[in-house]
Amino acid sequence: MTDDRDRLSAGALGDPRDDGRDESGPRIQDRPVVMGLVALVAVAVVVGVLGGVAALVGSRVLGLDGDASSAAESDATSGSSLYLPEPTITSEAPPVDAEAPATSEPSTTAATTEISLSANQSSVGPMQQIDLTGTYPAGEGAILQVQRFEDGAWSDFPVTMSVSNQTFSTYVQTSRPGPNKFRVIDTDTDLFSNEVVVTVG
């Protein structure tokens, strides 16, 4: 009888080693912590996904993606191709310089064939002598006609001379008052000299 009570008491009170732990899983008190950790992980995943989407959209809006950079590189390449004509323009400069000696040759030829005229007096009285002298390197033996500028055109003055030893000289007289323009012209080639002005009066 006493043994039966001891068993019942022990059965009613339970095993003192039984602390409420479920042998098939974690303790009951640990489940809220696990649920909290799961919730934190889920929130972190959602925040990470939203952050990644925001970064992707922002990079596309600001043109920071690979396509935009490649487009910028292509724009830079196309922009640099616009400057290709500049070396072409620079390369055209030497031919211009090469033509410079060619232009100097005609000027040298012109210097040897031109007629140079000068007047010994800049002003004279009416009918005073006006001495005209000059050089004509390529006109040996040529006949030169003196001309005066009258009424807006050149007209022959009644004086001629010949070229000897590449030089010529003569004189003219006029009573026409004021500035008088004179020049000489080769009667064969129609090549004329520079003008000289002598004031009469």
83 phi/psi in degrees, rounded to 5: -90, 5
Both structure tokens of 87: 């070396």
Instruction: Please check the confidence at residue 45 and state whether its pLDDT lies above 80.
Output: yes
Task: Kindly state the average pLDDT of the residues 167-180.
Answer: 96
pLDDT of residue 53: 87
pLDDT of residue 108: 47
Beta bridge partners of residue 119, listed in sequence order:
132
Of the two residues 174 and 73, the one the predictor is more confident about is 174
Q: Quickly state the pLDDT bin for 124 (edges 50, 70, 90).
A: very high
* Residue in 200, 197, 162, 196 with CA at minimum distance from that of residue 178: 200
Task: Kindly state the average pLDDT of the residues 74-90.
Answer: 53
pTM of the model: 0.46
CB 139 within 8 A of CB 116: no
Instruction: Please check the confidence at residue 184 and state whether its pLDDT lies above 70.
Output: yes
CB 157 within 8 A of CB 173: no
Q: Quickly state the pLDDT bin for 55 (edges 50, 70, 90).
A: confident
**Residue ranges of domains in the chain:** 114-200
Rounded Cα gap, residues 45 and 47, in angstroms: 5
Both structure tokens of 24: 């098939």
CATH class of 114-200: mainly beta
Rounded Cα gap, residues 20 and 32, in angstroms: 16
Task: Kindly state the average pLDDT of the residues 75-86.
Answer: 53
Largest CA distance in the chain: 184
Instruction: Please check the confidence at residue 173 and state whether its pLDDT lies above 60.
Output: yes
